[in-house]
C-alpha cells in the first residue's frame, strides 16, 4: 500500500432533488474517447468502477448488448442505479463497495473475467455539489469529506492529528508548498475552538496564503489532500489497477481518467510496469525488482488523451482530465 513515505518517491516520477436534476444533465468527461478505447462488444462484461451518476455505465450499455457491473462506495448513488436497472433489465448490476475490491465484489456474482474496466478517479460533481458532504470550500458545510460510510472525517484529522502529520498530508497529497505554515495555523486555531466547518478551514488557509491571483482557490490543494487522505484514495487506486488487470480477458482494456498530476503519475507508473516500459528509475527512487516475466499488456499510441477543444467549451471539468488505457495481449495467460 502507498503511504506518505512512498509519495516522496512518487513525486520524483513525474438540496437533493435539485442536485439530481443537475446530475441528469451532467456531462461525463471524455465520453466518446472512453467508448473509443473501451470498445464495448455484444455479450461482453464490463466494470464501471466509479459509477457516480451513471454516465459511463449508460454509454457502455447503449453502445453494445453487454452487461455492466457498476461499483460505488457512496450509497447515495443507488437512486441513479435504479433508473438503469429499469432501462436495461438483466444487463446492469449496481454494487456498493470500493473499486479496489472489484475482484471479490464481482466474484460474488459469478464473474471471474471481464472484457473491460473503466475508472473515473477523484471526487464526483455530485459530491462536490452537496455542502453537507464537506468536500468543497465554496459552500459552507460540515468538515466531513468521506466518500463512503464510516471511518475518520476530515474534522477528525484536522482536530486530532499532530502538526507534522497534517503538514505531511498537505504536502504529499496536495503538493502544497506552504504545508507547514498551514498546519501550524490549523493547530493554533483548533486550540481556541474545534474546526468543524469547511468555511472555517478555508478561512485559515486563506489567512496563511492570502488570495493569490491564480486559476484556482488557494484552499484547493489542502482540501484535495485531506480528501485523498481520508478516503485512502491512492491505496485504492493501486489496488484497483492491479485488480482490474487480473480480471481482464485477452484483448480486454482498462481505461482510467485522472484529474491531477499525482493520480496520473500513479496510473502511468502502473501501466508502464505492467507493459514492461518502466525503465530505470531516478537515483532517488528505490529500484524495482528485476523480472524476467514477459509483459502481458501493451499501451496504445499515443498513450494518453486529453479532452477535445469542443468539449472544453461546454464541460469545464474536462480541463484537467487525462485518459490512459492499457490492453491485455491476446496471447497472455489468465
Q: Which three cell numbers stand for residue 257?
A: 481518467
Distance of CA 78 to the CA centre of its chain: 19
Q: Which residues contact 240 (CB under 8 A, 6 or more apart)?
A: 49, 98, 99, 100, 102, 119
With b for 16 or more beta-carbon neighbours within 10 A and e for fewer, the 191-203 pattern comes to eeeebbbbebbbe
Residues 321-333: pLDDT tens digits?
A: 999 999 999 765 6
In terms of domains, do 225 and 161 share one?
yes
Give the Cα separation of 156 and 292 in Å (integer).
Answer: 46
| Coil vs helix vs strand at 233 | helix
DSSP characters over 247-260: HEEEEEEEEEEE-S
Below-50 pLDDT ranges, the chain: 1-25, 127-132, 134, 280-292
Asked which of 212, 230, 248 is the last residue of a domain, the reply is: 230
What is the per-residue pLDDT for 318? 85
In terms of domains, do 70 and 25 share one?
yes
Pairing mode, strands 297-298 and 322-328: antiparallel
Longest dimension (CA), the chain: 64
Q: Are 118 and 56 in contact (CB under 8 A)?
A: yes
Domain that includes residue 193, residue range? 149-230
The total of structural domains in the chain comes to 2
In terms of domains, do 44 and 92 share one?
yes
User: What pTM value is reported for the model?
Assistant: 0.81
Nearest Cα to Cα of residue 157 among 4, 5, 6, 264: 4
94: number of CA atoms within 13 Å, CB side?
24
Asked which of 230, 257, 278 is the last residue of a domain, the reply is: 230
Amino acid at each position: 500500500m502507498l503511504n506518505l513515505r512512498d509519495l516522496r518517491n512518487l513525486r520524483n516520477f513525474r438540496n437533493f432533488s435539485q442536485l439530481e436534476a443537475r446530475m441528469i444533465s451532467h456531462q461525463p468527461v471524455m465520453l466518446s474517447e472512453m467508448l473509443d478505447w473501451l470498445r464495448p462488444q455484444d455479450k461482453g462484461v464490463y466494470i464501471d468502477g466509479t459509477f457516480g451518476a451513471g454516465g459511463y455505465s449508460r454509454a457502455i450499455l447503449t453502445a453494445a448488448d453487454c452487461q455492466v457491473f457498476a461499483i460505488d462506495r457512496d450509497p447515495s448513488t443507488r437512486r441513479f442505479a435504479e433508473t438503469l436497472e429499469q432501462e436495461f433489465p438483466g444487463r446492469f448490476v449496481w454494487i456498493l463497495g470500493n473499486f479496489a475490491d472489484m475482484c471479490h465484489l464481482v466474484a460474488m456474482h459469478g464473474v471471474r473475467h471481464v472484457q473491460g474496466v473503466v475508472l473515473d478517479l477523484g471526487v464526483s460533481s455530485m459530491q462536490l455539489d452537496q455542502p453537507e458532504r464537506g468536500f468543497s470550500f465554496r459552500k459552507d458545510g460540515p468538515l466531513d469529506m468521506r466518500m463512503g460510510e464510516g471511518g475518520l472525517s476530515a474534522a477528525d484529522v484536522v482536530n486530532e492529528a499532530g502538526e507534522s502529520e497534517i503538514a505531511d498530508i498537505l504536502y504529499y497529497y496536495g503538493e502544497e508548498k506552504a504545508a507547514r505554515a498551514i498546519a501550524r495555523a490549523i493547530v493554533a486555531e483548533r486550540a481556541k475552538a474545534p474546526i468543524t466547518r469547511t468555511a472555517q478551514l478555508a478561512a485559515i488557509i486563506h489567512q496563511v496564503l492570502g488570495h493569490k491571483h491564480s486559476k484556482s482557490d488557494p484552499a484547493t490543494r489542502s482540501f484535495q489532500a485531506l480528501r485523498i487522505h481520508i478516503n485512502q484514495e491512492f491505496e485504492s487506486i493501486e489496488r484497483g489497477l492491479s485488480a482490474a488487470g487480473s480480471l481482464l480477458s485477452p484483448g480486454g482494456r482498462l481505461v482510467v481518467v485522472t484529474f491531477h498530476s499525482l493520480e496520473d503519475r500513479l496510473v502511468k507508473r502502473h501501466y508502464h510496469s505492467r507493459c514492461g516500459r518502466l525503465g530505470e528509475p531516478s537515483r532517488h527512487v528505490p529500484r524495482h525488482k528485476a523480472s524476467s516475466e514477459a509483459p502481458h499488456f501493451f499501451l496504445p499510441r499515443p498513450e494518453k488523451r486529453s479532452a477535445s477543444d469542443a468539449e472544453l467549451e461546454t464541460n469545464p471539468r474536462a480541463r484537467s482530465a487525462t485518459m490512459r488505457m492499457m490492453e491485455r495481449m491476446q496471447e497472455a495467460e489468465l
